[in-house]
Chain A
């Protein structure tokens, strides 16, 4: 079915997961993500899948850990406060080399925060999705279509690299409806999982899914091996979109919902004679350092636009090794910046020139 249908972001995420062969979803209600779980509760029973509303986000992520250990594709989704509860489970999955997909439909924080969209979990997702030396793949869609595409991609890459993958969306993307072509989807993993704990049936040594290594040298060796895999991922899997950057002097860096706003502002700036461009990270980890560094060749300055107090800005500065000024504009608390506000900041950035 690749004809286009009008679909709410949260539901499109769920349908995409099903198309990717996910038959086990463990959820918990939390605004603005709940429609995803509700959709799963409608569809999974009809296709012989598991929809289970756990007693907490903690239990839900551990059910995913169990299902992933058994070798199946499993997913959980939540929003910011719920993701904080899942970070223990995410760390254990990373430490046990388990593939799974976790979706964060971000809301304002900290604490109970608000229920409007936010991007204030960037640091949590990319720097510390759980304790210890670890990364998870982090994908940042900016449209319902891209949410669908990235879910399938996340399952594939999670299986390929045996690690958790996170979709970092937000309340706006989750709640809005857009036409989307979902397509057949992979229908399941093509990766063999000989390590799975699914019963040795007398045919092999028993498998142990575990993250405990009391011998420090063993733990260090395993973490280092994992970081070698991370290095390959950083080399091969970074994704971003460059918009009007070829001759851009002022480059806006923004992802997800704020990238949509920034794109409109960039177009307006161009119409006013300002050579603006946009780089939109699609993978937040691995961060698209190269794309940003290349753009720094002929860019004069960068403007980072986020729905937070500024978190990705650090990575932008690091990517260009502070070789250019990097300014910040953001709204937080759940407020979405307007194109006019972003344009105003682009002009300020270019102010020196005019």
Chain B
């Protein structure tokens, strides 16, 4: 099992994590805006996460913590 924790208010909605994820389970939350006014990234299907941390590696803001 693996878990991705995205710090919603650190995220700048740049989407680099969304294209890095091999399982394509991250996308910007269209229905949510963070304190900075961005749509933060969010994991749409946590069960499919393999904990590879590709998203965190491509995140320019260290907004993502990965557990496995």
State if A and B touch, Cβ cutoff 8 Å: no
**A binding-site residues for B, Cβ under 8 Å:** none
**B binding-site residues for A, Cβ under 8 Å:** none
